[in-house]
Structures are given as C-alpha cells and as structure tokens.
Chains A and B, each alone.
Chain A
C-alpha cells in the first residue's frame, strides 16, 4: 500500500507519522483492534497505537469480576438468554440487532482470548470456569446463571495484559504518552477522517499521525463526578474531540452508578462479591434488596440496586443515619475471599483497615460507566447523524462509543465484552475498508487551532487553577446530575456547567516548561470534562422519563410512547448552539415490558 501526504500542515515533517491505521487508546478495545488489523493486513502494515498512558496502565486493567459469554461450561446457558438479559438490563433502550451480535460473538471471542493466552480460572475438567453476576439469568429471567468467565477478581488485568502481549508479539507500533488533542477532518465534519494530532508529553511537541483509518478507543469520562470508580485519566477525551468538531454524542444522559463503591474512595468492590454470595445490609441489619427485587435480590441490575441504596439512605436506614450501607461478605469464608476475591479482600484491608471475614464493609454508589458516547454501527464505524450516515475513516469502540448495546443501563461484565467484541469487529472492518478510503492529508486548520490552544494555556497569566474548576464541576455533577435527578436540579446543574465553561476560558497553569508538562495535560483534560458534562446534563434535562441509569424523581415512570428513542446531542462549532435530535430504538425480538427483578 502506498501513502502520500498531500497538503501541508503546520507540523514539521519530522513529527509527521505516516501510518495505515491509527488506534487512539491502549485499553482492551484499542489493543484488540490493533491486533486484528495486524493479523488481517500482515506484518508490513503500519499500525500505530497512540495513548496518553503506557498500555498496561489502561483502565481495562481495573475491571474485576468477569466477562460474560454463554459457554454453558458449568450449567445450561444460551446466547439468546444473554441477549434477553442485555436488552432487559438496558431497560429496552438497547439496539437489539447490536446486542444480538455482541452476545453471539461473545462465545467465539472468549475462546479466541483463551487461545491468545488469557489466564482464565478453570473448572475441574479444565474448561473456562464461570460464575454468577448481576442481571444475568437463565431462561429469560427465571433466576441467576453462571455465565461470567473470570481470572480471579482481576479479569480486566488479564485481558489487558494478554492483548498487550500479543500486540508486542505481532509488532504493533506503540506511541506511549502522547495525548491526542484533535482529529484531522480536512474536509470538515461531514467529510473523511485523516489522522489525529497529539501532544508528545515528554517534549510538549505536537505530532501528526496521518492514516486512512482512525479508531477512538479512549474510554469513559467518570472523572466528571466527585465519587467515581474511574481512573484520574478518564476524562472523555475521545468523546469531546469529535463533539467539538460538530459530530454527535449519543445517549449521554445514561450514566451508570455502581452500587458497591468503597465509601468516599469511590473505587469498586466487584459485583462478583455479591455473585459469590455477598449481601447488602442497612442500619437495622436487614437484607433490604429482598423487598426491592424479590427474585434477583442483591443481583438485580446495577441501576436498581443503586437506587435501592439511595432510598434506604433517604429513609434514614443508612448506617448510623449516614450516607452509606454495608456489604456483608463475612459468611463467604477464607477460601472464597482469598482465592476467588483476593484483590477485593486486599482493598478492604488496605484502604479501610477492615477484615472482610469479620467486619462489615461500608459502601456507596459510585459513578462508574458511560452508556453513551460516539454513535457507531455494529462494526465500529462512527455515525455523523441520527440517520446513520457514516464518517469515512472514523471508528470508535469500547466505553467511548455507543453502539448501543447497553441502552439505558449496562449489565455487569458486558463492558469487557463490549470492548472485546466491538474492538475486534472495528479492527476487522478497518482492515477491510482501508484500501477504499482516501489517502490521508493534513488538516492545517486543526493543526493551527491545536497549536493556538496549547500556546494559550502555556501563556495564560491571570486565570484560575484548573483543579479549582474541576473540583466544582465534579461536586455539582455528583449532587445534581447523579443517581436521582429533577428538572430543578438539572437546570441548576446545566447553568453551573455553563458558568464553569466560561471560567475555564481563562486558566492559569504553573508549569510553563516543555518537559512532561502534566499541568498542561490536566488543563486540556478539564476542557474535555466540561464538554462531556454539557452534553450529559442537557440530554438529561430533555428526557422527561425514568429509564435505566437516568432516574427522574419528577418523571418516575418509563415512557415508551414518547421516549423509546436515542438522544443525539450536537454542538455547532460555528455558533456554539446545542441541538438534540432523536433516533428510534431497533427492536427485533423482545417487545418492551415492565422491568422487574
């Protein structure tokens, strides 16, 4: 394949990288796509992974409990049951054709990962072992099923390492510690994508990565909330960048709050703790989930459990009247806690100084997962509008994307499945389409505007500290755009976010140097967080119903007549005006029904 770089940008040739395909983000989705690209196109293909972290630091590595696939290794299971659970878990906002692909592909994908070396736990027969997980049922909701494949309680770590290892084996080129600042759209937002522009953290120099195909696999934006399970680096970069260029973000109002965040710290105690038999207790020592979800109890879907905890707290049954409840795993015994849940037990000991065998563990819901993101089709191709028009050469996969397989609420383990199935599918599709995509050219306008943005931050002398604005943003989003929402709270939140965006136009950073300027990096990330917050709160304000992760106290019921549709939020780069458009949900098999567990 030959590549020519027509058109001249601002960035000197020495810092222009001509590649066949560029993957942004080195978590599970990005690495699987890169591996697939290399395998499809052969050893000479120039496949680059650009990430602001070393690949092994990606947040895929923090995923704990498992990844579901209906292997049926320990009891009867069928991918159609998994499909139904995914649709129901998503409160029927799931596009059913996409979820069908995910649940069917799951089986082959998990087997492929085993072939690549993933250290799954095994049954006595040597098969991949499986355990229960929230919302996953047998025979369309009858009771819990063992569907989650796992590597102790560090399944994400095992996935990340395995894919990183295989990418090394296959000669993927890594550009570590480059922060992507823009996407090259030389023909405007309606045209094709032609690469990305990134800041080399070591030197603060801008680099242009030119390629016919670009995959965004940058993860979520949980750092927009005060209490979150997300890493510091999850700042919505890959959502905000296309949004700034006038491309849409889908279903941003749907954000998952995971029930068992460690109190105040926010990071997770895996749902696997309840999958193995752990239960939630209120101040009276009551197993309160029995009254909210009589069948699935503590293993109801996450939005249901998180809301139940909030209601217990609101009614004064938080521990000591406070804002947390207890997770009780004492009865699981040393064997299960130390062998199947060793990391979780370690977290409890390290951060709380408690002993899970004898002590109750304080937990609270924590902002965990963005169901929304860059809209894509089932092959990772990014969509330009609600009518399904594709942006040539632009792909997205993983948490940054919205296929939509999670609808209004993601089931536990389906995030790992999403990154694997759709990361891989995107890689295959990119490989297949590459020859037909136009040759990359420079986007001089983007290079100039990025240069101006960076210079502006480095020369600012009379603004506020980014950390001050970020802390206010996290506070207001958690308090007013959290588990429960109302018209009044969301209106206040929208106005607050808008005021913070204004203030963030004048930032002052201390570090004016070129070497590993993480002060600059954090200021740029704040911009992304503010854009994601805007899309989230405006989308949430418009949706006058309660569905999955979007719970409105003033509109407590799901409204399938008016709201069985996806939100597409767009901001005009010219006027700054936001518009909301809607797209019907694809329903192929399961008619929407009331959702009970």
Chain B
C-alpha cells in the first residue's frame, strides 16, 4: 500500500511555528502507524522525533493524535488508518519536539494522588494478606492503566485548565481507593475531593474513547465520587 503520512512537525530550536510535512511511504496493510514513523525516521528524515519502546501497546510511550483521535501508534494498523494518515502530538501539553510532549505535568498529577499502597501491617504468619477474588476484582480494570496519557490529553476540561488532575490520575487513585488492603483511603479521597480533583469531570467520555486499554474510566470516576459521598467529605 502507498501511504501519505502527514506529520505536524515542530522543533522550537529551528522552526518559528508548527507546520505540516508530507511523506510518501509504502507499507503492508498489517503494519502499524509506528512502522510508518520508523520508515520516515530511519530512511528519510532522522530528525523526526517521537517516543516509543515496546511497540505492542504495553509500555505506553507512543500515544499521539492519529487521524484526529488519541491512539497508540503501535496499536493502530495501516489497514484501519487508510491511505492518508495524519499524526500530531497530544493536546494540552507543551510540544517539546514534533510528536514528543512535555510529560512532567502528567507525572506530577500522578504523584499527587499517592499512587502506592499504604499498609504497614504485616500478617502475623508472615504470609500474604488475604484478599477475596471479588475484592481483587474491584481494581482489576484500573490496575491495567499504562500511564500513556491518552485519556488526560483527550479531556476538554484538561485542555482548558491543566490544574485539573485529569482522568489518568483519578484512575490510579481509584486503583488504591477500592483496594481492600489499603489504609489511606480517606487521605486519597480528600485529594480527589479538591476543587481540581474529581468534580471537574464533565463526563464527555473522550477519555473512555481514547484509552487504548479500554478502561472504563468514567465508571471509575463515578465510583470515586460515590466513595467521597460515603466518606462524608461531601
């Protein structure tokens, strides 16, 4: 297949403003958009810059806007993307170079929600803590997050105000809030109940559409708001 790849290029070191460049590449229908980007980088223009690592949708490096929607470049196949493929950096974060954005604010939001189990008690027998399969299931979905930022950068609330903690951070807060082993639920709910926390969600469902892991993000957000209600914080 002959593909026209349109990439929004921007190198603040050299360019006055972002601009679109077109590249002709040939590909198998089963190739991934990441393969197209590599063809350009490796054999046409080595200055094209993006992040990637595992190339099969588990490391979360290569989220970007492809044909208007947030996706992982390594999970989107040429046969589905069509003969003209447009690629640009995720929205709401500063473009550092081409498809590579400044992820620092994203990690800051993540760290803000205490994304770690808090529980200093160890069972007397020295063995694992018991947890029923049903309790384990409560955070199955949200523990699947790969921190790719596709959800947060698809959120209109986040676009308008980066102080909003964003769906990815809420997903990771949820993962611990509903874990029966955790002892810091109240603290986390207080963080979530902050004016820049969970209340700012307007349930536009962009995040659910963008998530490459199909995590039911709005359901998790709803569960967090319910927990806040139950905790008496609101």
Contact = CB atoms under 8 A, between A and B. Distances in A.
Interface in A512-563: 513-519
A62 B179 contact: no
A125 interface: yes
A539 B163 CA distance: 56
Contact of B30 (A124, A152, A166, A351): A351
B117 interface: yes
Given A54-B103, A57-B60, A59-B54, A465 B43 contact: yes
Nearest to A108: B126
B77 A117 contact: no
A465 B42 contact: yes
A343 B215 CA distance: 13
A178 B35 CA distance: 25
Contacts of B96: 202, 515-516
B174 to A, nearest CB: 13
B60 A513 contact: no
A488 interface: no
A59 B61 CA distance: 11
A509 B107 CA distance: 31
Interface in A46-82: 53-54, 56-59, 61-62
Interface string A339-382: 00001000100111000000000000000000000000000000
Contacts of B41: 467, 518-519
B128 to A, nearest CB: 4
Contacts, number: 151
B42 A515 contact: no
Contacts of A286: none
Contacts of B46: 465, 509-511, 519
Nearest to B106: A54
A219 B91 CA distance: 33
Interface string A105-145: 00000110011110111111111100000000000000000
B61 A57 contact: yes
Interface in B98-138: 100, 103, 107, 111, 114-119, 122, 126-133, 136
B60 A114 contact: no
B53 A53 contact: yes
Interface string A166-189: 101100000000000000000000
Interface in A325-341: none
Contacts of B122: 115
A231 B77 CA distance: 18
Nearest to B182: A117
A157 to B, nearest CB: 6
A169 B117 CA distance: 9
A581 B60 CA distance: 42
A513 B136 contact: no
B129 A115 contact: yes
B17 interface: no
B216 interface: no
Interface in B35-89: 41-43, 45-47, 49-61, 75, 77
A117 B116 contact: yes
Contacts of A165: 115-117
B147 A128 contact: no
Contacts of A468: 43
B130 A126 contact: yes
B136 A117 contact: no
Contacts of A162: 117
Contact of B143 (A110, A124, A158): A158
Contacts of A161: 143
B128 A168 contact: no
Contacts of B97: 515-516
A157 B30 contact: no
Interface stretch (B7-15, B190-198, B201-209, B217-225): B7-15
Given A116-B117, A351-B77, A510-B46, A61 B127 contact: no
B12 to A, nearest CB: 7
B55 A126 contact: no
Contact of B58 (A62, A233, A514, A516): A62
Given A57-B60, A124-B133, A127-B130, A231 B43 contact: no
A126 B53 contact: no
A57 B58 CA distance: 8
Contacts of B164: none
A265 interface: yes
Given A124-B133, A165-B115, A168-B116, A56 B147 contact: yes
Contacts of A57: 51, 53-54, 59-61
Nearest to A262: B56
Nearest to A161: B143
B144 interface: yes
A267 interface: yes
A389 interface: no
Contacts of A518: 41, 49-50
B30 A111 contact: no
A341 B57 CA distance: 15
A61 B54 contact: yes
Top 8 A-B pairs, shortest CB-CB distance: A117-B117, A510-B46, A467-B42, A126-B130, A165-B116, A519-B46, A169-B116, A114-B128
23 contacts: A57-B60, A111-B126, A115-B119, A115-B128, A117-B176, A117-B181, A119-B179, A125-B130, A126-B131, A126-B132, A127-B128, A162-B117, A166-B116, A166-B117, A168-B115, A202-B96, A231-B55, A231-B59, A352-B30, A514-B13, A516-B97, A517-B49, A519-B41
Interface of B: 11-14, 30, 41-43, 45-47, 49-61, 75, 77, 96-97, 100, 103, 107, 111, 114-119, 122, 126-133, 136, 139-140, 143-144, 146-147, 176, 179, 181-182
Given A126-B131, A343-B58, A350-B75, 7 more contacts: A62-B58, A119-B179, A121-B133, A168-B115, A231-B53, A232-B52, A351-B56
